[in-house]
Amino acid sequence: MLHHIGTKTIETERLILRRFKEEDAKDMYNNWASDDEVTKYLSWPTHSNVEVSRKLLEMWIDKYISEEIYNWAIEVKENNSVVGSIALMNVDNNIESCEIGYCIGRAYWNKGLITEAFSALIKFAFKEVGFNRITGRHHVDNTASGRVIEKCGLKYEGTLRQVHKIKDGSIVDCKYYSILKEEYRG
Ligand SMILES: CC(C)(COP(=O)(O)OP(=O)(O)OC[C@H]1O[C@@H](n2cnc3c(N)ncnc32)[C@H](O)[C@@H]1OP(=O)(O)O)[C@@H](O)C(=O)NCCC(=O)NCCS
């Protein structure tokens, strides 16, 4: 059985993964949510102003009341900016599985930051919550996301056709990957 503990703070070499606060709205808007390149393959539309970010954060913060919500702000230790988000979503208590989702501002791409956060969450999910399976998936064209998933040790399982709707309304193919508790070496 899963041992849910909610969005606990996790520290890595360069990052603090922590709960979102209302004050993060400006960073969210400026660093990633207002950028069409960041949302290119995602289901949600680019935020048109900081109020959209603020409202979304209010909703997310209210949800922390549940210990089954795993939704972290990615704070960079170097400058204390919040630069992205990472979450364990679609928690299935029956088969003890979840899916990981993430995004980070363009100024912070290709520095290994999502790989660092993702690796820490794999450890958290298996060791602290007791998940048995973590799924990773990405739009077939989002090769950077695929590279992150592979670097984190997930195995490619296949491509599902027309399984995900992105912000422009098109329904696209996604590549699916997973890692199982029995494969995790720490
Ligand atoms: C995808 C994303 C999360 C990657 O985050 P990141 O912090 O830059 O990832 P990392 O630096 O840990 O690793 C990126 C890897 O992808 C590679 N990469 C970058 N752009 C690439 C491209 N166009 N094609 C192939 N590989 C690419 C990098 O070289 C790096 O691999 P390497 O370490 O072997 O050199 C980030 O680009 C992002 O937030 N994109 C927008 C939101 C999004 O797409 N989220 C994922 C939804 S599934």
Q: Which CATH number characterizes residue 48's domain?
A: 3.40.630.30
Which residue segment(s) compose the domain that 23 sits in? 10-132
Measured from the CB, is residue 138 less than 6 Å from ligand 1?
yes
Mean pLDDT value across residues 2-31: 98
Mean pLDDT value across residues 119-138: 98
Mean pLDDT value across residues 44-69: 98
Count of structural domains, the chain? 1
Q: What is the mean pLDDT of the chain?
A: 97
Indicate which atom in ligand 1 lies nearest the CA of residue 110.
11
Separation of CA 3 and ligand 1 centre (Å) = 31
Measured from the CB, is residue 32 less than 6 Å from ligand 1?
no
Q: Is residue 123 part of a domain?
A: yes
Separation of CA 146 and ligand 1 centre (Å) = 8
Q: Is residue 66 part of a domain?
A: yes
Q: Is the model's pLDDT at 107 over the cut of 80?
A: yes
Q: Which pLDDT does position 49 carry in this prediction?
A: 98
Q: Is residue 168 part of a domain?
A: no
Q: Is residue 1 part of a domain?
A: no
Q: Is the model's pLDDT at 63 over the cut of 80?
A: yes
What span, in angstroms and rounded, lies between the C-alpha atoms of 133 and 99?
8
Confidence of residue 170 (pLDDT cuts 50, 70, 90): very high
Q: Which pLDDT does position 14 carry in this prediction?
A: 98
Confidence of residue 68 (pLDDT cuts 50, 70, 90): very high
Q: Is residue 91 part of a domain?
A: yes
128: number of Cβ within 10 Å: 14
* pLDDT tens readout for residues 73-104: 999 999 999 999 999 999 999 999 999 999 99
Measured from the CB, is residue 9 less than 6 Å from ligand 1?
no
Mean pLDDT value across residues 98-120: 98
Q: Is the model's pLDDT at 51 over the cut of 80?
A: yes
Q: Is residue 175 part of a domain?
A: no
Q: Is residue 23 part of a domain?
A: yes
Pocket test for ligand 1, best of 37, 114, 172 (most atoms within 8 A of CB): 114
Q: Is the model's pLDDT at 186 over the cut of 80?
A: no
How many residues does this entry show for the chain?
186
Measured from the CB, is residue 111 less than 6 Å from ligand 1?
yes
Q: Which residue type occupies 14?
A: R
Q: Is residue 186 part of a domain?
A: no
**CB < 8 Å & 24+ apart, contacts of 40-48:** 40/142, 40/166, 41/138, 41/139, 41/141, 41/142, 41/145, 41/166, 41/172, 42/103, 42/166, 42/167, 43/164, 43/165, 43/166, 43/167, 44/167, 45/167, 46/167
